[in-house]
Amino acid sequence: MGTSTKYQVIDPVNGLLDRRIFSDAGIYQEELEKVFGRAWQMIGHESLIPNPNDFFLTYMGEDPVILTRDAKGEVHAFLNMCRHRGNRIVRADDGNAKNFMCSYHGWTYSNEGKLVSVPGLQEAYYGELDVDSLGLVSVAHLDIYAGIVFATWASDAPTLKAYLGDARWYLDTQFNRRDGGMQAYGPMKWTQPVNWKAPVDNSSDNYHVAITHLGSAIVQSQALGRPRTSHEGLFKSPAKHLSVNGHGLTFRMMEANEPRRGHGVTKYNLHLFQEYQQDTLPEVERRLGSFRAQHVQLGNHSLFPNGVLGFRLALPQGPLQTEFWHFSLVDKEAPEEIKRALRTGSQGNNGAAGMFEQDDIDNWRQVSESGRSPVARRYPQDLSMGVGHASIHPDYPGMVSERYISENNQRNYYARWQEFMNAESWADIHIDPITASFEGTAGMRG
Ligand code: FES
Ligand SMILES: [Fe+2]
């Protein structure tokens, strides 16, 4: 087919990575087209537009996108660009509106994307403007997984179900547990002087946790009674890494009735979380089957191309600038106390003021900038940890690493990026077959 070999940036055999992909302006421009122009991307959550005529302003790569729910309840996504001269139609972050009027000359579009009003259509345009062909530019496909809205500009993209593939078997254990779905709070937004790929690859990097986050972990363990992280604990952990279609996931195998861990759980409220877990277990078992309900807990993870630790986005704004959007997602039907603990826990760790987030940003900045010097560029990044120690597992779908601490997912992420950058179309991009058995009643839509 049309695959080129222009990009040979990652060597999967020795794990060496070309640093220029973090800082080169030409590579960045090509990413906007070849990665963000064709990948499925998370753009919002159904709970952010719960009512007819709600809208939410979002991004795909650098392109502003309006996510709308029309009067009939159907969800759409359009490029936020007036077809006349290119002004942005929507300036507010979110709201409720049937129509959007461009503030330059007043062309007005419905929330279904139709051009419904043009000042001077007869007087100035002689009735000759082809109004029907000048609706808002729509994404090629939009689909929803467990309330999370995804879209792609590529008409030849595979289905979202195929794109997520076996990753969904693990994602379900966090995002698809309850009949009532999840509620998104946010986003909290801030800019970071980092390349957008650095936080994504870091999502599967548990190697850094005991060093980078040592101070934050000590504070949390003293104030909240959360367990300390140590190299010893991480290296011995039976948790695992796995990779599917460039998505990098980590998960923990749990004993029956073992408490689920997460940000927001402290020694003071652990009993509340355990009660909630017990109370909801029959529903979760019905939805996910008892194996996943009881024994699998999703850990840190990324979704290709720019999803970081769940429904959180690294939006590119240049090779060395990323706008970060932090949301927290909680079960809609959880007790208020649990929701509050999860929200504050999520922000305390990973929001703009999150202690762990701040620890991380300086690392990402230095990794991103290391490709700027011609001398530094002669020395590739070393991602060789665990080469040859990942395989198909009998119980857990995906390409699963033998050990928790591994760079298996990072190698696969950059190999996926390279595949996108070299491909002419989706025909040149492989999709792993779905092999997982999805027990229970939970489906793509919830
Ligand atoms: S640019 Fe929008 S109406 Fe002219
Ligand atoms: Fe971190």
Taking the C-alpha atoms of residue 98 and residue 75, their distance in angstroms, rounded to an integer, is: 13
- Which residues have CB atoms below 5 A from the ion given as ligand 2? 360
Q: Where are the alpha helices (DSSP H) in 35-166?
A: 160-164
What residue's CA is closest to ligand 1, atom 1?
85
Q: What is the CA(83)–ligand 1 centre distance, in A?
A: 7
Model confidence pLDDT, tens digit, residues 43-52: 999 999 999 9
54 and 94 Cβ atoms separated by less than 8 Å: yes
β-bridge partners, 296: 253
292, pLDDT greater than 90? yes
Q: Does domain 165-428 have CATH number 3.30.70.1170?
A: no
The model's confidence at residue 2, banded by pLDDT at 50, 70 and 90, is low
The pLDDT of 3-14, averaged and rounded, is: 91
Give domain limits for the chain.
Answer: 41-141, 165-428
Which of ligand 1's atoms lies nearest the C-alpha of 118? 3
Share of the chain above pLDDT 90, in %: 92
The pLDDT of 276-304, averaged and rounded, is: 97
Q: 240-244 and 63-69: which strand pairing? A: unpaired
The pLDDT of 162-184, averaged and rounded, is: 98
Q: What is the CA(402)–ligand 2 centre distance, in A?
A: 22
| Spatial CB neighbours of 354, under 8 Å, sequence gap ≥ 6 | 326, 346, 347, 348
Q: What is the CA(176)–ligand 1 centre distance, in A?
A: 42
Taking the C-alpha atoms of residue 303 and residue 40, their distance in angstroms, rounded to an integer, is: 10
Confidence (pLDDT) at 228: 81
Class of the CATH domain delimited by 41-141? mainly beta
Mutate to test the pocket of ligand 1, among 85, 89, 118 (most ligand atoms within 8 A of CB): 85
Nearest to 42 by CA among 378, 328, 308: 308
Q: What is the DSSP secondary structure assignment for residue 40, as one 8-state letter?
A: -
Q: What's the half-sphere exposure (Cβ side, CA atoms, 13 Å) at 232?
A: 1
What residue's CA is closest to ligand 1, atom 4?
105
Which of ligand 1's atoms lies nearest the C-alpha of 102? 2
Confidence (pLDDT) at 109: 98
Which of ligand 1's atoms lies nearest the C-alpha of 106? 3
Does the C-beta of 105 come closer than 6 Å to ligand 1?
A: yes
Q: Which ligand is nearest to the CA of 82?
A: 1
Q: Which ligand is nearest to the CA of 83?
A: 1
- Coil, strand, or helix at residue 148? strand
- Coil, strand, or helix at residue 136? coil
Does the C-beta of 109 come closer than 6 Å to ligand 1?
A: no
The pLDDT of 234-260, averaged and rounded, is: 93
Taking the C-alpha atoms of residue 393 and residue 399, their distance in angstroms, rounded to an integer, is: 7
Q: 296-303 and 247-253: which strand pairing? A: antiparallel
Which has the minimum average pLDDT: 135-144, 146-155, 255-264? Answer: 255-264
Confidence (pLDDT) at 238: 87
Taking the C-alpha atoms of residue 398 and residue 420, their distance in angstroms, rounded to an integer, is: 20
Nearest to 90 by CA among 68, 73, 71: 68
The pLDDT of 108-133, averaged and rounded, is: 98
Q: Which ligand is nearest to the CA of 136?
A: 1
Q: Is the peptide bond before 305 cis (omega within 30 degrees of 0)?
A: yes
208, pLDDT greater than 70? yes
Confidence (pLDDT) at 239: 92
The pLDDT of 2-10, averaged and rounded, is: 88
Confidence (pLDDT) at 226: 80
pTM, whole model, 2 decimals? 0.97
Does the C-beta of 87 come closer than 6 Å to ligand 1?
A: yes
Which of ligand 1's atoms lies nearest the C-alpha of 86? 1
The model's confidence at residue 3, banded by pLDDT at 50, 70 and 90, is confident
Which of ligand 1's atoms lies nearest the C-alpha of 105? 3
Listed ranges 5-14, 55-64, 371-380; the one with the highest mean pLDDT: 55-64
The two three-digit tokens of residue 322, written as one number: 């990323």
